[in-house]
Amino acid sequence: MDFGQILEMGKGLFESQEAQGFDLNSIISTAQNGPLGDVVNSWLGNGENMPISADQVSQLLGNEKVAALASQFGVNSGDLSGILQNVLPGLIDKASADGKLLDNLSSGDMLSQLAGQFLNRG
């Protein structure tokens, strides 16, 4: 998957959150109330971001949602989970302040963060 395809996938994820079922507030809330709470809270806080595995991404989002999103973007579920494993910690970290997700974040802001994550992966 090249950078352009990744940006298209990100655009689809964030511009149509309701249709895609990819809502950062919902993801954070679900994680905070489950076994991944400490991991996600580290992304929201000012300290070091704890890592998340591809399996934990699937657990957090749900296997059906990951499979549906992967199918929509023409990748397999494992590849999508791997991409999100690398993107979600930094994305949520940059999209938050004082331990909370910013309310006025636009899809353009999200795409900028997604692009930055991939450009910095080097």
The per-residue pLDDT for 55 is 94
Is the pLDDT confidence value at 106 over 60? no
Supply the pTM of this predicted model: 0.71
Is the pLDDT confidence value at 96 over 90? no
Q: Model confidence at 120, in pLDDT bands (50, 70, 90)?
A: low
- Backbone phi, then psi, for 52, in 5-degree steps? -130, 140
Average confidence (pLDDT) over 52-72: 87
The per-residue pLDDT for 37 is 92
Closest CA to 90 of 16, 35, 24, 13: 24
Q: How far apart are CA 86 and CA 81, in angstroms?
A: 9
The per-residue pLDDT for 112 is 60
Q: Which helix (H) or strand (E) is 45 found in, with range?
A: none
Is the pLDDT confidence value at 17 over 50? no
Is the pLDDT confidence value at 7 over 50? yes
